[in-house]
Chains A and B, each alone.
Chain A
Amino acid sequence: MPNQALTLLLEFDDQVRRDHHQPPAFLHRRDRRFALEATEPHTPRAWLDHIQRLSGGHTNAALKPLRRWRRITLGFAVTGTVLGIVTMLGLLYYDGSGRINVTVMLGFMLLQLMLALATSLQALVGWRPWGWLIERYLHPAEESAMAINRLQPQLMARAAHCGGLMFALAGLLTLLTLVVVRDLAFGWSTTLSTGADSYYRFVATLAWPWHTLWPAAVPDLELVSQTRFFRIEADTAVTAGRWGEWWPFVTLAWCCYVILPRLILTALSSLHLRLRARHVLTSHPGLLALRYRMETPEVDTGHQNTDVNVTPELAVNARLHPLPDSPVVVRWAGAGEASVPAQFQGHQQRLVVEAGGAASLAQDQTAIAEAGRHLSDDSRHSVTLLARAWEPPTAELEDFITDARSHWPANTRITLVPLATDPNQPASDQQLAPWLRFCERLADKRLYVARYSNVDATTGNGEALS
């Protein structure tokens, strides 16, 4: 039966690794959406099912490391089986000249028990004395950072217990087979000055777990007394028939002190593995990040709207023209309000009118009419229109020029002069560029742009913007 906690951990770990190269915004959107739409609890399993469903189904690629561990476990089991048979054949070797020492058998059982406990203890404390072996021969380098690596002690303990269990079962079968097919002579012997009474109490204690189930498998004092053998053999003809009566005790002792502990510890190792896998999953950094993404609202600031304005054509083909000496100066939208250069101030030959900005539309009409009258009295049909360089030309100025054209002599030359914040300084190229483009857009052949500079009145003669 597959360990669900373990497969969940592996699949989750695999998905987190796949997500490693995804943009964080995408992950947030995906997982937050899952959290908002999912009807089931937001468990890693539900999340994985959701992801896998969207990706077209479940794949077993994530379980590849687990298959390797299954092979390792199988290897332990096969080796355990073979060793179990060989070991039991060795323990029960009997050529008729001696006895099979029950004390040795009990000692071997104790050794098995100790090994089983040591295996479990090692898994509990997470000790990996064999770790280098795994990493060197059985473990691909790319898996070194995977979550399954944190379960190595538990996986190894489970494999070892499986091997131990198979060893014990194979040993039992071998024992029973030999009991059937051969006449085994068991006895007990020890160098210690232990009497039959003491040994009887010892084996009776060992046999306590099954004394009610199978009383015949509990050696009696008589059997113990009669089956003691010594290095220097005495005549034992009376007891010879009883040598074989030890086998039920040996069999049940093997079951009780070798097989049963292995069985319990194998089950416990599986449980430990499951608990450990669950713990690794709950402390997985990917799970913390996933929970954060699921719990945190996804904020979209509207940054993805790219279908908006196309960057305007900023090339300037028109050139600046020389500043004319016009008989009419129009101050548009308060240009030159603070201080107007002397070149644009009114006198007998030069009319200065105001339009645009704070002026009303009626005042604009009056200014156009006044300028028209003045132009008809002057042979220089030229108008200088002062503007604020930093305020871009608007449709109102376009309306004013169009309107003025219909009232002024047809050949009137209109020169736009954008003034800088400080009127005595020339306007920058950057400020003049929109005015030149405005001029181009209107397609008025007698509309020009000039730059004013108090240093050199001829500045701008045929000048192009840099």
Chain B
Amino acid sequence: MTTKTRPAPTFAVVGHPNKGKSSVVSTLSQNDSIAVALEPGTTRHSQAYPLTVDGEVQYTLIDTPGFQRPRQVLAWLEAHSLSASDRAETVAAFVHQHRSDPRFHDECELLTPLIEGAGIIYVVDGSVPYSAENESEMEILRWTGRPSLALINSIGADDYSERWHSALGQFFQVVRKFNAVKAPFNQHLSLLKAFGQLEPAWEQVLDAAVMHLSDQRAERKSQAARLIASALEDMMGWQERRTLTPGQLEAQSRQALADQLRERWYQHQRQREQSLRIEVETLYQHHRVQRQEAELSWHSEHDLFSENSRQIWGVSRAYLATAGFGAGAVGGAGIDAVTLGSSLGTGALIGGLIGAAGSYFYGDRLVLPVLRIGALQQGLQTVSFGPVQDSQFGYVVLGRAVDHWWHIAHRNHAGRLPLNLEPSDSHWLADLDSQARHLIQSALNRCRKQRSLSDDQRLQLASAIEAALDRYHQWRLASG
């Protein structure tokens, strides 16, 4: 058990208005509800975003308003200071004197955390030219005497970061480039570590926080795999059912009934897929993602059920054949066990061939579920549609889910652009290791036969999907 001897470090994110302070805080605190707008004065009050581990604050980021009257503040400070040794006290005196003065509301808000001991994270926009008017702000910050780090955030497309770097270097201990919208996760961690290096007492705390965040991210990936596995199981095994009297059954044509049930079946599958999307987004604390998805209707461009989706996310005949070989070989191994191995592996070979042939047979087309009318029981008949009899459907669902996961997992919380899920054009699953392929294939087969998975099988499916997530990430990195 550790005893806290000093308060957790606090970092005030300060700067000129409209330079992305809130974006930096939004990304580092994984909070997409912070108002980020290209409008000066969007942030009017300081707001704390603590990182807690088991309820214990590790560090706190404070989003602050931008400087509005830095030259007046500096003039006041210079007029009330006698020597360099009283500068920090003078800044505190300024805040105390002007706390209720509306003209210096923003300055008091941003300076208050600093006089209370916060470290300085000064944010500038590296995509616009350096401006000397920032120097009065930087000078005020220097007067506080707090440990400081400058961040060159790039909001626009141009790059003036070199000029900024050399100018900031004169005022701040550390200068880092950090794109709040695009920086990958490892850069977030690297930046947090840099915060820790501002003062020796903070290093250990920030290192521990980084470790916790890394672990949290790894766990989120595992959880995402479990969520996808669960949705896959539901969707592959879904059967739409209706119970009718013989009179009702005769009143409508078989085709009309099939159409009706098919539509409900599609509707359910789409809803389940949407709920998976929301679950994954919630897991990664993205609550306001605007997803741009193609209209989910039969044969539309990116529809879950369309031919196009099948071609993009479905797997090749060869893939299905090899995945099926594994599934069949397991059955064949059972034959070996029964014959006490006397067939010397022949069982496995036969099972493999049968499995491969079955998979190859399915491999070329998306076989639709069929309408089944059950026997008359107590004057009622059950009509059912589904489950889908083609494992390609499972691969389409899986491909789309993995692609969505990847975009969400790599999206920074400062990002406000809509998420466009454009399908990729390569069968990335082909590179998945054979064991994971076999696990996925056998789980899909079991689900479409409406045989529920045991806990162990669920765990194995989730681990195979996690391997697929890793594989997809590598494929994305490789394809740039």
Q: B71–A334 contact, CB under 8 A?
A: no
Query: Is A99 among interface residues, defined by CB-CB distance under 8 A?
Result: no
Q: How far is the CB of A331 from chain B (nearest CB, A)?
A: 12
Q: A360–B42 contact, CB under 8 A?
A: no
- Interface membership of chain B positions 216-231, coded 1 if the CB is closer than 8 angstroms to chain A and 0 otherwise: 1001000100100010
Cα-based distance from A437 to B18 in the complex (angstroms): 14
Q: How far is the CB of B264 from chain A (nearest CB, A)?
A: 21
In the complex, chain B residues whose CB is within 8 Å of the CB of A430: 38
Q: B29–A302 contact, CB under 8 A?
A: yes
Q: B35–A434 contact, CB under 8 A?
A: no
In the complex, chain B residues whose CB is within 8 Å of the CB of A357: 131-133
In the complex, chain A residues whose CB is within 8 Å of the CB of B98: none
Q: How far is the CB of A61 from chain B (nearest CB, A)?
A: 19
Known contacts A32-B54, A302-B49, A395-B103; A25 and B35 CB within 8 A of each other: no
Cα-based distance from A341 to B48 in the complex (angstroms): 45
Cα-based distance from A176 to B106 in the complex (angstroms): 101
- Interface membership of chain B positions 147-185, coded 1 if the CB is closer than 8 angstroms to chain A and 0 otherwise: 000000000101000000000000000000000000000
Stretch at the interface among B241-249, B392-400, B432-440, B447-455: B447-455
How many pairs of A and B residues are in contact by the CB < 8 Å rule?
169
Chain A, Cβ-Cβ closest to B40: A392
- Interface membership of chain A positions 308-328, coded 1 if the CB is closer than 8 angstroms to chain B and 0 otherwise: 111110100000000000000
Known contacts A147-B455, A309-B43, A388-B131; A360 and B37 CB within 8 A of each other: no
Q: B38–A356 contact, CB under 8 A?
A: no
Q: How far is the CB of A460 from chain B (nearest CB, A)?
A: 20
* Contact partner, A285, options B17, B35, B38, B456, Cβ 8 Å: B456
* Contact partner, B51, options A286, A302, A306, A396, Cβ 8 Å: A302
Name A365-409 residues within 8 Å CB distance of B. Answer: 388, 390-396, 399
Stretch at the interface among A153-161, A197-205, A292-300: A292-300
Q: A391–B132 contact, CB under 8 A?
A: no
Chain A, Cβ-Cβ closest to B43: A309
Cα-based distance from A393 to B52 in the complex (angstroms): 37
Q: A301–B30 contact, CB under 8 A?
A: yes
Known contacts A334-B131, A334-B133, A356-B133; A434 and B455 CB within 8 A of each other: no
Query: Is B374 among interface residues, defined by CB-CB distance under 8 A?
Result: no
Q: A311–B42 contact, CB under 8 A?
A: yes
Known contacts A297-B53, A301-B29, A421-B129; A434 and B42 CB within 8 A of each other: no
Chain B, Cβ-Cβ closest to A392: B40
Cα-based distance from A23 to B282 in the complex (angstroms): 9
Query: Is A361 among interface residues, defined by CB-CB distance under 8 A?
Result: yes
Stretch at the interface among B60-68, B305-313, B325-333: B60-68
Q: A144–B452 contact, CB under 8 A?
A: yes
In the complex, chain B residues whose CB is within 8 Å of the CB of A391: 16, 128, 131, 133
Query: Is A303 among interface residues, defined by CB-CB distance under 8 A?
Result: yes
Q: A145–B133 contact, CB under 8 A?
A: no
* Contact partner, B133, options A144, A310, A333, A434, Cβ 8 Å: A333
* Contact partner, A390, options B28, B43, B128, Cβ 8 Å: B128
Known contacts A309-B47, A333-B133; A396 and B54 CB within 8 A of each other: no
Q: A396–B72 contact, CB under 8 A?
A: yes
Q: How far is the CB of A231 from chain B (nearest CB, A)?
A: 45
Q: How far is the CB of B120 from chain A (nearest CB, A)?
A: 19
Query: Is B194 among interface residues, defined by CB-CB distance under 8 A?
Result: no
Q: B459–A285 contact, CB under 8 A?
A: yes
Known contacts A334-B131, A394-B67; A437 and B39 CB within 8 A of each other: yes
Known contacts A145-B452, A298-B53, A333-B133; A396 and B38 CB within 8 A of each other: no
Given contacts A303-B33, A311-B37, A394-B40, 10 further A-B contacts (CB under 8 A): A285-B456, A302-B29, A303-B31, A312-B42, A356-B133, A361-B72, A388-B131, A391-B16, A392-B40, A395-B106
16 A–B contact pairs at CB < 8 A? A141-B452, A285-B455, A285-B458, A292-B219, A302-B49, A303-B29, A305-B29, A305-B33, A314-B37, A361-B75, A388-B128, A391-B133, A392-B39, A395-B69, A396-B71, A434-B39
Residues of A in contact with B (beta carbons under 8 Å apart)? 20, 23-25, 32, 36, 141, 144-145, 147, 149, 284-286, 292, 296-306, 308-312, 314, 333-334, 338, 356-358, 360-361, 388, 390-396, 399, 421, 430, 433-434, 437
